[in-house]
Structure 1
Amino acid sequence: MKSRGPYYRLVYQDSAGGRPDLVDLVQRSANHCFAREPSRRDGYARQALARFDEQALDHALGMFVPGLDQGIGGLPVGIAAAPFAVQIRYRDTLTGTKAAFLAASRYGARWQARHVCGGTLIAHDWVLTAAHCMIPSAVKKNTLAVQLGVTDVRGNDGRGVDVDGAIVHAGYNRGGGRLSVDGKYDLAGDIYHNDIALLHLAPDRGQRDPAKVSTVDLARDPVAPGTVIQAVGWGLSGQSGEVNSVTSVLRREVFSVVANADCAKLLDYGPASVAAGPGKQVAVERVHPGVLCVRGTRTKTCSGDSGGPLFAETGKTLKLVGIVSWNKDGCTMTTADRPGVYTRVSAYLDWIDRARKHVPAPGQLIFQP
């Protein structure tokens, strides 16, 4: 077995296999990298914490550090199978916090450090994705881009287009905390209510190959239980040695729809308690009409797939039915029989129409009710 590297021990030696405290990770990173240069060490820690972006670091850790999630299943496929699928990524590997990419660069290649999420091209200049993929600081600094028509994200495959601004559902709720413009919210929990967002793309007058880049229609009606559907993405596909294996090549997974009532039983979830104001808690259902549950045979979407498309074949056309949102207990092989939970597109058609009437200015993040 390949031995654990020094950074693995640094991060996980006292964490009992769980996610380490993120602020503490920054300090320990500085201590490790500048052990013989105290002045540089202290300066690095101060700078990193001064512009600390918790969500960006969370993305990096979830993608590259072992023990957080393990992806399973899926087969490589060309972008022509889903030409509406897009990769959301940083413009370069220097974007975001140095701490985030310190974690990523220890384990991953440069292309891995750029990957954020998947998305779906629903119009020439609009990409639909998950709200939990949004990194407010990256939106405000105009450091996000999308790659269209890409099969292998390692090279120059596809066409890059910058993200101008973003619109997030104002009711998005993760773990009992609401996402704010400064990117602060409770990282714990898996409620993910209204997990939907739109990216507005910068003007792109270049030629797009229709075989590799095209929009997809939104499903207007709920899909019935038992319907066969597909998902594509560049998420985790297994473990290789000491790190999660992030696939650079687009992969496709096949699922069947599970009725929400059955899904709630399989996930063994009751109502969650969510803050509704100072000192006030309300009970909400995790599996509600705004989500869609699917299950595969020893396969799940996973970290990196988030925000990507779930689609069904209707006649000779493909329709977007869902957005990759969350799994209970991660996406390990031992939980492959549990349904994954997706944002149900047909439940948010009115929201999408309203949101697209408000084109964000460059660097603007809008919260749309």
Structure 2
Amino acid sequence: MKLIACSLVLFVWSIWNRHAISKPVIGALGSNEAFVLDGEDVIPGEFPHQLLLERRNLNKWGLICGAVLISNVYALTAAHCVENTEVKRLRVVAGLHDVTNRNVSQHHPDFNEGPEFLTNDLAILTLSDGLIVNDYVQPIQWISQENITLDGYSCTISGWGKDESTNHPEVLQKVSISLISNQRCDDILSIFYNVKTYPGHLCGYEPVKGSCKGDSGGPLTCYYKEKAYLAGITSWNIMGDGVCNATFPSVFARISYFNKWIVENTP
């Protein structure tokens, strides 16, 4: 398997806003930590659209988030993963399965970041060199129809984030999660927190399973007639005492909501 590390010409169009909420805070999942809660190992090549987003600190590259390949030159990630980071300190790694076995942006105009409610949490990465498509590196088609209903679908979160034992897995992890309506999502969140989603959010809920810090930017992959489609980008989850809580929904940037913006900025 040939692994590719690619630097970025980063047009991080990020789209987020801040809305104050009651504590505990909503976790920005890309805060240099990562979890796939109750995940299992992925088969090599199962998610060829999955990218690893790394940042260089001093002379060492380290995982900060996931990303998703949507063409050989464009990728999507969560805006909070790349805000306030110099382009020269970022790279994506494609074709990666086991992190122990490798060779070595434009924000949406309404994006904001902080320890509050994240909205419009999406960014486009422009790769400095186009990637060569193979069995392990392939772009994914995203769901572009804005009014499509995904409630009840079982879709898959993937990432190299920390697991429940707070250890980073060596092998890409995945977990299936059921999608729910935003109203149902709000109902669950409002049991304990003053939080509401908005149309650009997509929620998944499966007790014990879900996403957490650092899986941010990675794909929510749904399947229709055995073909993979990108439905969301992992964005945030409820946290308490620094730990993600899978008893609450995982929240994603709803790709279909941003279809026009993505098309306009990926010529």
TM-score (norm 1): 0.59
Matching residue within 259, 263, 266 for 2:181: 259
Q: Is the 8 A contact 2:143 2:231 kept in 1?
A: yes
- CA 1:136 to 1:156, structure 2 compared with 1: closer, same or farther past 3 Å? same
Question: Greater strand percent: which structure?
Answer: 2
Q: Alpha carbons of 1:87 and 1:70: their partners in 2 closer, same or farther (altered >3 Å)?
A: closer
Paired amino acid for 1:249: V
Please name the residue that 1:212 is paired with: 136
Code of the residue aligned with 1:153 in structure 2: it is: V
Letter paired with 2:89: T
Counterpart CA distance in 2 for 1:250 and 1:339 is: 22
Contact 1:269/1:286 (CA < 8 Å) preserved in 2? no
Which residue does the alignment assign to 2:40? 75
> How many Å separate the matches in 2 of 1:77 and 1:232?
8
Structure 1 Cα separation of the partners of residues 251 and 162 of structure 2: 17
Once the two structures are superposed, what CA deviation does each residue of 1:42-91 show, in whole Å capped at 9, x if it has no partner?
A: xxxxxxxxxxxxx9xx934xx2xxxxx8752110113411100000002x
Q: Is the CA contact 1:71–1:332 (under 8 Å) kept in the aligned structure 2?
A: no
Q: What is the CA–CA distance in structure 1 between the aligned matches of 2:95 and 2:177, rounded to whole Å?
A: 24
Which position in structure 2 is the counterpart of 1:168?
Answer: 107
Q: How many pairs does the alignment contain?
A: 238
State the secondary structure of the residue aligned to 2:45: helix
Task: Tell me how far apart the structure 2 counterparts of residues 224 and 304 of structure 1 sit (CA, whole Å).
Answer: 24
Please point out which of 137, 155, 170 is paired with 2:101. Answer: 155
1:116 corresponds in structure 2 to 64
Structure 1 unaligned spans of 5+:
1-17, 20-54, 64-68, 96-109, 161-165, 175-186, 273-284, 358-369
Q: Look at both structures and tell me which one has the larger radius of gyration over its CA atoms.
A: 1
- Partner secondary structure for residue 114 of structure 1: strand
Which one of 128, 133, 137 corresponds to residue 202 of structure 1? 128
Question: Are residues 1:59 and 2:59 paired?
Answer: no
Shift of 1:271: 10
* Cα separation, partners in 2 of 1:125 and 1:83, compared to 1, 3 Å: same
C-alpha distance in 1, partners of 2:243/2:207?
Answer: 13
The verdict on how the C-alpha distance between 1:131 and 1:269 changes in structure 2, with shifts beyond 3 A counting, is: farther
The one-letter amino acid of 1:220's match is S
| Correspondent of 2:153 among 227, 235, 239 | 227
From 234, 243, 248, the counterpart of 1:338: 248
- Relative to structure 1, the CA distance from residue 218 to residue 88 in structure 2 (aligned partners, 3 Å threshold; closer, same or farther) is same
Identity score, percent? 27
Cα RMSD of the aligned pairs, angstroms, is 2.8
Contact 2:155-2:223 within 8 A present in 1 as well: yes
AA in 2 matched with 1:343: A
Calculate the TM-score normalised by the size of structure 2.
0.80
Whichever residue aligns with residue 78 of structure 2, its letter is A
| Distance in 2 separating the partners of 1:286 and 1:173 | 17
Runs of 4+ aligned residues of structure 1 deviating over 4 Å after TM superposition are 269-272, 330-333
Q: Distance between the aligned counterparts of 1:87 and 1:136, measured in 2?
A: 19
2-structure distance, mates of 1:229, 1:148: 22
- CA separation of 1:76/1:270 partners in 2, compared to 1, >3 Å: closer, same or farther? closer
In the TM superposition, what is the alpha-carbon distance from 1:332 to its structure 2 partner? 4.5
- Aligned-pair CA distance for 1:267: 0.4
Please name the residue that 1:35 is paired with.
Answer: none
Q: Is the 8 A contact 2:35 2:160 kept in 1?
A: no
CA contact (8 A) 2:36 2:159 kept: no
Q: Quote the Cα distance in structure 2 between the aligned partners of 1:290 and 1:194.
A: 7
Taking structure 1 as reference, are residues 300 and 332 closer, same or farther at Cα in structure 2, changes over 3 Å only?
A: farther
